[in-house]
A and B are shown apart, each in its own frame.
Chain A
Amino acid sequence: MKPRLAIAVWVGVAIALLSIGVLSAKAATPQTSLSEVSSEVMCPVCGTLLELAESPQALRQKAFVSRLVAEGRSKDEIKDALVAEYGTEVLALPQGSGFDLSAYLVPVVAFVLALVALAVGVLRWRRAGESRDREQPAVPTGPSAEDSERLDADLARYDL
C-alpha cells in the first residue's frame, strides 16, 4: 500500500471512530433534568407537583424520571412515558385539546369581553357627556338688553 493511501485509510478510520464516540456520547447526554420535568408533572397520588411531593409513590416516579433522564430522553419523551403510565392527569399543564383547551380559551375570551365592555362603557360615558353639554342652555356672553339699557342710562347720567 502506498504511504499516501495508508495515511488516508488511517485518517478515515480515526474519523469514523471519533464519530461513533461523539454519537454514543450524545445519545447518553442528558437533555433535561429531574427538576425541570418534575416542575411540569404531577404526583397523581398526592395531587401536587412532583417536585413538591415526597410520598413513596412520588419517590418511585422521581426514580423513573431520573432513569429516563440518564438515558438521554428529552423532556417531551419523558412526559409521554409518564402519560403512558399514569394517564394525562399526570401533566401539570392542561392539554391544548378537548375540554382542557378551555383553560387557555376562557381567560382570553374573558379578557376580550372585558375590553369590549370597557370600550362600550367609555363610549357611553362620552356620549352622555356630549348630550348633557347640548342640553345645557347657552351661557350668555354679554350683558342682557335690560342691563345694557341700565348701563347706558348710568353712563349718560355721569356723562361729563
Chain B
Amino acid sequence: MSARSAIAVLAVLAVVGLLTFGLLSKGSSGIAVGEVAPASSLPRLEGGGNGSLADYRGRWVLVNFWASWCDPCVEEAPELEEFQQRHGDAGFTVLGIDSRDLSGDGRAFVRRFGLTYPQLRDGDGAFAHDFGTTGVPENYLVDPQGKVRLAVRGPVTGEYLEDVVAPLLSGGQS
C-alpha cells in the first residue's frame, strides 16, 4: 500500500471513529427488566452529602425520576407519598431523583407536597441517562439484589402501585 493510500485510509478511519464516538456518547439504549440498575453517587436534594441507590441494597426501591416543571409529576407525587406512607419500612422505599431541575425549585416541590421519602439530585441528567429515561416521570422498581423488576415510562397511579407493585413487595419475590 502506498503512503498516499495509507493516509487516505487513516483519514477515513478517523472520521468513522469520530462519528462512532459521537453516537455512542449520545445514545441511550434504556435499561431492561432483569438488568442491574445503575447506582451512581448523587448529591442529596436536601441536607447535603451524597446518596446512592446502592445505599438501599437489601430493600425494594421504587426509583422515581421527576422534575418540578413536569405537570404529570405534580399529579404523581401525592400518590407516591401515600404509597410510601402505607408501605415504606425497612423493606421498601420510594427514592426520588430530581432530574434536570433547579435545586431551589426541586426543594420547593418537596415541601409543597410534603414528600418524606429520600430525594437525590441529578442536575445534569447523567443518572437518568444511565437508566435510559426518555423524560419525566419514569419509575423503576428495583429488587433487594439491585435488579430492575418493573419499568414504567410515564406516571404511576395509586391504583397501579397497589395492584402491581405492592404484591411484589409483600410476596417478597426477588
Q: What residues make up the interface of A, taking CB atoms closer than 8 Å to B? A: 44-45, 56-57, 59-61, 64, 84-90
Contacts and interface: CB of A to CB of B under 8 A. Distances in A.
Given A45-B100, A85-B102, A85-B103, A60 B124 contact: no
A116 to B, nearest CB: 12
Nearest to B124: A87
Contacts of A44: 100, 124-125
Contact of A61 (B70, B102, B126): B102
A87 B123 contact: yes
B69 A86 contact: no
B71 interface: yes
Contacts of A61: 102
Contacts of B97: none
Interface string B61-85: 0000001111100000000000000
Contacts of B71: 56
Most buried by A among B68, B70, B100, B105: B100
B123 A86 contact: yes
Contact of B123 (A56, A60, A64, A85): A85
Contact of A86 (B68, B70, B100, B105): B100
Given A57-B69, A88-B124, 10 more contacts: A45-B100, A45-B125, A56-B69, A57-B100, A57-B101, A59-B69, A60-B68, A84-B123, A87-B123, A87-B124
Most buried by B among A56, A64, A85, A86: A85
Interface on chain B toward A: helix, strand, loop, or mixed SS?
A: loop
B69 A89 contact: no
Interface residues of B, number: 14
B102 A89 contact: no
Contact of A57 (B67, B124, B126): B67
Nearest to B70: A56
Contacts of A56: 69-71
B102 A87 contact: no
Contacts of A88: 124
Nearest to A44: B100
A112 to B, nearest CB: 15
Contacts of B100: 44-45, 57, 86
Nearest to A59: B69
Contacts of A89: 124
23 contacts: A44-B100, A44-B125, A45-B125, A56-B69, A56-B70, A56-B71, A57-B67, A57-B69, A57-B101, A60-B101, A60-B105, A61-B102, A64-B102, A84-B123, A85-B102, A85-B103, A86-B100, A86-B124, A87-B124, A87-B125, A87-B126, A88-B124, A89-B124
A87 B125 CA distance: 9
Nearest to A81: B102
B59 to A, nearest CB: 29
Nearest to B136: A45
Nearest to A55: B69
